[in-house]
Amino acid sequence: MTIAELISLMGIALVAGWTPGPNNTLVANSAARFGFRATFPHVAGIGIGFPIMVFCIALGLGNLFQQSIVLREGLRILGAVVLLWMSWRIATAGQPNAQAKEARPFTLIESASFQWINPKGWVMAIGISSQFADPSRPAITAMIMAACFVFVGFSSASGWAYFGTYMQRWLTTKRRADVFNWTMAALLVLSVLMIAFADLG
């Protein structure tokens, strides 16, 4: 991979990683409810789990995904159902820590596992792999792409988590909490709509 290709990869990865989507919405909401420290395992799950997924897809898993309509549509449906359920939980969550006994942030394993049912993540990983994977050196280019997303994943998830932490100071009334929760829920629903019409193949 040339320096120009690496810069292009990093630029695309930063845009994809920092724009609103399921991961960033969920981590911001988690930090607003539980604080940055409690949300860090969620951040780490993104920073570790997504690069592993990119690595596997770049090595050939993406081809299986693209060739199997059952796998693609199954992931689309499963991802949409999970995200709609999460959006409802967020919308009805109330003020931060109001349901501390019932709610908790994602663990590292849960966050890393979520990457595999996140259709936006599959679209990103397959799109980037198709542009930058070198068939003559698949393992090396897969490692480079994965390493890029370790940086992007930790930085973007941390940035959105800090945004959520900042919002804690504003969410001092039920009305403000409801506005924030419904906005976060709406972003997730928007992600579902984008997934519904996305070309996952």
CB-based contact 44:107 (threshold 8 Å) = no
pTM summary value:
0.80
Mean pLDDT, the chain, whole residue set: 83
Lowest mean pLDDT among 62-76, 80-94, 144-158: 62-76
| CB atoms near residue 4 (< 10 Å) | 8
3-state secondary structure (DSSP) of residue 1 = coil
136 membership: H or E segment, kind and range: none
Q: Which residues lie closer than 8 Å to 35 by C-beta, 6 or more apart?
A: 165, 168
Closest of 115, 116, 127, 118 to residue 15, by C-alpha:
127
CA 96 to chain centre: 22
- pLDDT digits 0-9 by tens, 115-143: 988 877 887 888 888 788 777 788 888 89
3-state secondary structure (DSSP) of residue 119 = helix
Q: How far apart are CA 54 and CA 68, in angstroms?
A: 18
Q: What's the pLDDT at 88?
A: 85
DSSP annotation of 93 reads -
In which residue are the tokens 């992600």 written? 191
CB-based contact 118:75 (threshold 8 Å) = no
| Token couple for 18 | 């920092």
189 or 25, which is more confident: 25
Whether the pLDDT of residue 107 is over 70: the answer is yes
Closest of 119, 138, 114, 125 to residue 12, by C-alpha:
125
pLDDT band at 200 (very low <50, low <70, confident <90, very high): low
- pLDDT digits 0-9 by tens, 137-195: 888 888 999 999 999 999 999 999 999 998 888 877 788 888 888 888 888 788 778 77
